[in-house]
Amino acid sequence: MAILGELGTEILIPVCGVVGIVFAVAQWFIVSKVKVTPGAASAAGGGKNGYGDYLIEEEEGLNDHNVVVKCAEIQTAISEGATSFLFTMYQYVGMFMVVFAAVIFVFLGSIEGFSTKGQPCTYSTGTCKPALYTALFSTASFLLGAITSLVSGFLGMKIATYANARTTLEARKGVGKAFITAFRSGYGLGGSSMALFGRVGGGIYTKAADVGADLVGKVERNIPEDDPRNPAVIADNVGDNVGDIAGMGSDLFGSYAESSCAALVVASISSFGINHDFTAMCYPLLVSSVGIIVCLLTTLFATDFFEIKAASEIEPALKKQLIISTALMTIGVAVISWLALPAKFTIFNFGAQKDVSNWGLFFCVAVGLWAGLIIGFVTEYYTSNAYSPVQDVADSCRTGAATNVIFGLALGYKSVIIPIFAIAVSIYVSFSIAAMYGIAMAALGMLSTMATGLAIDAYGPISDNAGGIAEMAGMSHRIRERTDALDAAGNTTAAIGKGFAIGSAALVSLALFGAFVSRAGVKVVDVLSPKVFIGLIVGAMLPYWFSAMTMKSVGSAALKMVEEVRRQFNTIPGLMEGTAKPDYATCVKISTDASIREMIPPGALVMLTPLIVGTLFGVETLSGVLAGALVSGVQIAISASNTGGAWDNAKKYIEAGNSEHARSLGPKGSDCHKAAVIGDTIGDPLKDTSGPSLNILIKLMAVESLVFAPFFATYGGVLFKYI
């Protein structure tokens, strides 16, 4: 029996959740003290020129009334654009939810002819719930997961748009204050099918606007990034929130929920599941609860214990977050493993029994946790402009865009090696110790510091928006240098967040694959079987097909954006001179309409593939498809994300000019810089659309196959029956 009793478990899990929410609200309250309304500030009393103490006293007209007014206006425009996009997308998502809920109910209910009679259980002598009961609860669970995922993405986006102008204003006090504001907002972020729409739709939106703004603004018109004369600049900043924040929030929520569910499903047929040991059954949830407290403590190191005084300290501070959270989590998991698990227990692995110790299961969680840290550091090495890989890419711009593209692609391919070894080792170790339960717990271990991962990931787009607002509000060059320093570190942290998401997606997908094979009654997945092998080949092709769709979608949407931006520059008198205001709303509408329209085909590919393959070709072929998609999808996702991140930071490296080497590549507007901008523009859809979306492809196909496994096992393989 476990040391921690049932009552202690029932108290600990919700208390940790409540503590996390209270802490997130406290962070929001602290950020809200940075006022973006001049009237409210002066009413609060006191400072120079009628402003409060939140404004810095420097020589650059920092208390300029117009600056604060402009920041407030720009923040409102970005927030309204992001909200408009999400509500438009949610209308389509709502229709999808209703249709797919009906499909789940009909497919699962039809297995026993919508029977209300109980069925014999597989792992015990009791009677299990009837098919109709399973269909009803699966449908309700689908809707609950979808709504929760939507809410997590929406809240993340609202927090980010609330924080961007405040980060800009705090940059006037110094880079340290701006860092804390962006990071605190990131912590406030605290079902996969919805994540698919958020990732793909948001990714297409943001990159259409980004590519359109960069091509016409920086390359053709030679105006700076985020220049208020550029009609696509608001749409670009909106995209940072709907793609990077809402999409990532829903994506990691999906991974977290799926790894927890996979672990709970396998735990239910273990010895402590059959013996109804509630505390041991809740071990996955206890690990998650400890993760909340660990991430809360880790956040204090960034915001309260160590002060950022220089731009060079930003990236090390974010790296310390990863190290501290991983070290504390290792200790926390060890304590929970000792308190919550029996010293010895049995796991059922495809019918065979496997004896596991509590310290063995702790090792499964720990290996996933530390594999995540390794993936994070390798990602940082390949995408940060502080290291030689990105500096080499920047140097290749001397001879034009072609060599920049070649070096960037090579970097992305090379960056796959160590993360894949880390994932492979964690899979081997965790499976050897506790079979599929071990893999599910390794995935949960990798995600257990998710609050810290989300905080440093959300910090990136918030900082990017802050820089854009500073440029559009006409703030001084010194302020823009500070926000650029935050943004450059943010690009790296966003890449680290994507690395975590991809690695955890691989482990989650494998755990779900094991559950699917077990539930579908497949004794062994034989690669030499023609049914399995054709599935393997087709499955390996699917990530390429999916990536082609998302890349083409960005290209099509960007084409419309480029045409609109060119039209405005050519037809609005005084726009280039800055005496006329561009039509931002039209660009926002183009991105919204294009992204909603273009996300449907890739979404249909992911949702329909398991249904079609399972029904027509059966569970063996479907198991091959899932394995093939997992193996190729992970490689492409890591490569695409890191290639795009490296190109982005190579451009930032040249723009910042912080070293002799960087200055030798020329200022903004030089041939080297233009070559870097082209590489960055190509990399945008790779790192923010195609790469991250592949996580959802491999997870969603696996979880969908698991849900429909009883139907496929009963009625699947229609085509092979007649061949």
pLDDT score at 616: 93
Q: Are 680 and 651 in contact (CB under 8 A)?
A: yes
| pLDDT band at residue 476 using 50, 70 and 90 as cut-offs | confident
From 231-245, 529-543, 555-569, 571-585, the region with the lowest mean pLDDT: 231-245
- Which SS3 state, helix, strand or coil, does residue 356 take? strand
Confidence of residue 392 (pLDDT cuts 50, 70, 90): very high
Predicted pLDDT at 144: 78
Q: Sort strands 127-128 and 344-349 into parallel, antiparallel or unpaired.
A: unpaired
Span of 176-190, 596-610, 618-632 with lowest mean pLDDT:
176-190
In this model, does residue 160 exceed pLDDT 50? yes
**Over pLDDT 70: what percentage of the chain?**
78
Is residue 46 in a domain? no
Q: What is the reported pLDDT for 47?
A: 38
Element (H, E) at 399: none
Kindly tell me if the per-residue pLDDT of 603 is higher than 60.
yes
In a domain, 42, yes or no: no
Find where tokens 């041939």 sit. Answer: 671
Residue 200 has pLDDT above 70, yes or no: no
Predicted local distance difference test score (pLDDT) of residue 514? 81
> Where does the pLDDT of residue 423 fall: very low under 50, low under 70, confident under 90, or very high at 90 and above?
very high
pLDDT band at 207 (very low <50, low <70, confident <90, very high): low
> Is 119 strand, coil or helix?
strand
DSSP-assigned states of every residue in 577-601: TTSS---HHHHHHHHHHHHHHHTHH
What percentage of residues in the chain have a pLDDT greater than 90?
17
Residue 178 has pLDDT above 80, yes or no: no
Alpha-carbon distance 498 to 52, whole Å?
A: 39
What band does 405 get if pLDDT is binned at 50, 70 and 90?
Answer: very high
Q: In angstroms, how far is CA 157 from the centroid of its own chain?
A: 12
Q: What is the pTM of this model?
A: 0.80
pLDDT of residue 633: 93
C-alpha to C-alpha distance for 587 and 156, rounded to whole angstroms: 23
CB 83 within 8 A of CB 98: no
pLDDT for residue 370 is more than 70: yes
**Number of neighbours of residue 18 by Cβ within 10 angstroms:** 11
Calculate mean pLDDT across residues 19-23: 74
Report the pLDDT averaged over residues 96-117. 79
First-to-last alpha carbon distance for the chain, in angstroms, is 54
Distance between CA 554 and CA 628 in Å, rounded?
A: 26
Of these ranges, 172-176, 224-228, 633-637, 705-709, the one predicted with the greatest mean pLDDT is 633-637
The beta strand positions in 54-208, using DSSP E, are 119-120, 127-128
Q: Which position has the token pair 């097909």?
A: 545
Integer Cα distance of 185 and 156 in angstroms: 9
Q: What is the 3-state secondary structure (H, E, C) of 396-411?
A: HHHHCHHHHHHHHHHH
Average pLDDT of every residue of the chain = 78
> For 496-511, how does the pLDDT look when each residue is reduced to its tens digit (9 = 90+)?
777 877 888 888 888 8
Domain annotation covers residue 333: yes
Question: For residue 176, what are the domain limits?
Answer: 6-33+64-721
Nearest to 282 by CA among 258, 300, 260: 260
- Average confidence (pLDDT) over 558-567: 83
Quote the pLDDT of residue 719. 85
Burial of 46 (0-12, 13-18, 19+ CB in 10 A): exposed
Highest mean pLDDT among 104-108, 214-218, 299-303: 104-108
Question: Does 203 have pLDDT greater than 70?
Answer: no
Helix (H, G, I), strand (E, B) or coil at 233: helix
Res 192 pLDDT > 60? no
- Residue at 87 is within a domain: yes
- Whether residue 49 lies inside any domain: the answer is no
CB-neighbour burial class of residue 352 (10 A; exposed 0-12, middle 13-18, buried 19+): exposed
Question: In this model, does residue 346 exceed pLDDT 70?
Answer: yes
Rounded to an integer, the average pLDDT of 153-162 is 73
Q: How far apart are CA 562 and CA 400, in angstroms?
A: 22
In this prediction, residue 205 carries a pLDDT of 58
- The DSSP element (H or E) to which 150 belongs, if any, is helix 131-170
Q: Given a cut of 60, is residue 671 above it in pLDDT?
A: yes
Confidence of residue 288 (pLDDT cuts 50, 70, 90): confident
Res. 197 pLDDT band, cuts 50 70 90: very low
- Mean pLDDT along residues 211-233: 65
**In contact, 226 and 471? CB cutoff 8 Å:** yes
**Residue 219 has what pLDDT?**
57
Contact, 656 vs 484, CB < 8 A?
yes
Is the per-residue pLDDT at 60 higher than 60?
no
Number of domains in the chain: 1
User: With 0-12 CB in 10 A as exposed, 13-18 as middle and 19+ as buried, what is 420?
Assistant: middle
> Would you place residue 4 in the very low, low, confident or very high pLDDT band (cuts 50, 70, 90)?
low
Is a pLDDT exceeding 50 seen at residue 5? yes
Quote the pLDDT of residue 542: 95
pLDDT class for 40, splitting at 50, 70, 90?
A: very low
The answer to whether the CB of 20 falls within 8 A of the CB of 451 is: yes
Residues 209-227 have a mean pLDDT of 63
Cα(618)–Cα(715) distance, integer angstroms: 8
Average pLDDT, integer, range 236-252? 68
Identify which has the larger pLDDT, 566 or 63.
Answer: 566
Q: Is the pLDDT confidence value at 394 over 90?
A: yes
Answer yes or no: is pLDDT of 188 > 50. Answer: no
Residue 671 tokens read as: 């041939």
pLDDT of 226 over the 80 cut = no
In this model, does residue 92 exceed pLDDT 60? yes
Cβ atoms < 10 Å from Cβ of 98: 10
What DSSP element (H or E) covers 355?
A: strand 352-357
DSSP 8-state symbol, 55: S
